[in-house]
């Protein structure tokens, strides 16, 4: 399947340092994962005026928020955590085939609303060059909302990001990638507090938690 990507998701067209040089003031969509953690750290080291925004919903495991708070604290980065009621969104909680796109649109729109009030005009996320648009419906949301993906534009792969994170001493360097809880609810089944609680006990979710422990993060 061919998926159109936005200008902000072109691959290998702009070194990271050049992006920061022309974007000295930016907001970062920050999940506490390996990629967005490195992006935030790199922006701080580049001397940018940067504010990280995290969106906490019922779909994310609590450890993601804990990791985001820890990393921001260790970097001395400005971080705003936004609570958003995704369970009030009937279009998302119906769990349709395009749920991921709808959810990403909701999350990034929430960040854009808050950052605009704070006077930030550029939103960057941690999408990298390894991420495949054919398997990530969120690419459509990035393009529609004008989000820029500096790591991808710099041609940095997941392995590159992990290596660069280790060089900076970030504890997220070896952090496994985690799917949100909604992924573990069968497509078409309503997303509710109860179904998400069951999803957290699903084999795949439990395996992800085990991988986190093995990586030394738990």
d(CA 142, CA 103): 12
Q: Are 29 and 36 contacting, i.e. CB atoms less than 8 angstroms apart?
A: yes
Give residue 196's pLDDT.
96
Q: State what percent of residues in the chain have pLDDT above 70.
A: 93
| pLDDT higher than 80, residue 1 | no
1 within domain boundaries? no
Q: Are 206 and 179 contacting, i.e. CB atoms less than 8 angstroms apart?
A: no
| pLDDT higher than 80, residue 11 | yes
2 within domain boundaries? no
| pLDDT higher than 70, residue 177 | yes
Give residue 2's pLDDT.
56
Of the chain, the end-to-end C-alpha distance in Å amounts to 37
Give residue 89's pLDDT.
98
| pLDDT higher than 90, residue 122 | yes
Q: Per the structure, how many domains does the chain have?
A: 1
Of the pLDDT bands very low, low, confident and very high (cuts 50, 70, 90), residue 206 is: confident
Which of 51, 136, 152 shows the shortest CA–CA distance to 101? 136
Of the pLDDT bands very low, low, confident and very high (cuts 50, 70, 90), residue 128 is: very high
Mean pLDDT value of segment 150-169:
98
183 within domain boundaries? yes
Give residue 207's pLDDT.
73
Check: pTM over 0.95? Answer yes or no: no
Place of tokens 């919903």: 57
Mean pLDDT value of segment 66-93:
98
Could you tell me which residues come within 8 angstroms of residue 47 by beta carbon, excluding any fewer than 6 positions away?
20, 24
129 within domain boundaries? yes
Neighbours of 147 (CB within 10 A): 24
42 within domain boundaries? yes
68 within domain boundaries? yes
Mean pLDDT value of segment 97-125:
97
| pLDDT higher than 90, residue 135 | no
| pLDDT higher than 90, residue 81 | yes
25 within domain boundaries? yes
Mean pLDDT value of segment 88-114:
97
82 within domain boundaries? yes
Mean pLDDT value of segment 50-78:
96
Comparing 51-55, 108-112, 123-127, 209-213, the range with the smallest average pLDDT is 209-213
- Take residue 96 and report the two structure tokens written for it: 């349709």
**Cα dist. 3→35, 139, 207 in Å?**
22, 8, 30
Residue 193 belongs to what domain range? 7-214
What's the CATH code of the domain at 115? 3.40.50.620
Between 171 and 203, name the one with better pLDDT. 171
């Amino acid at each position: 399947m061919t998926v159109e990507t936005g200008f902000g998701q072109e691959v290998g067209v702009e070194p990271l340092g050049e992006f920061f040089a022309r974007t000295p003031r930016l907001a970062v969509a920050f999940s506490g994962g390996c990629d967005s953690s490195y992006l935030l750290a790199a922006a701080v080291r580049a001397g940018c005026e940067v504010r990280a925004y995290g969106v906490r919903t019922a779909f994310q495991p609590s450890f993601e928020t804990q990791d985001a708070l820890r990393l921001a604290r260790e970097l001395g980065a400005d971080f705003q955590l936004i609570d958003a009621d995704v369970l009030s969104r009937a279009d998302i909680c119906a769990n349709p085939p395009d749920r991921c796109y709808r959810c990403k649109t909701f999350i990034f729109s929430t960040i854009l609303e808050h950052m605009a009030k704070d006077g930030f005009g550029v939103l960057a996320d941690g999408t990298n060059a390894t991420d495949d648009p054919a398997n990530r419906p969120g690419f459509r949301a990035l393009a529609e909302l004008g989000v820029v993906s500096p790591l991808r534009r710099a041609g940095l792969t997941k392995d590159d990001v992990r290596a660069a994170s280790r060089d900076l001493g970030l504890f997220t360097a070896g952090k496994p990638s985690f799917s949100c809880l909604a992924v573990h609810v069968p497509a078409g089944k309503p997303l509710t507090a109860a179904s998400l609680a069951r999803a957290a006990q699903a084999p795949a979710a439990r395996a992800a938690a085990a991988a986190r422990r093995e990586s030394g993060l738990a």
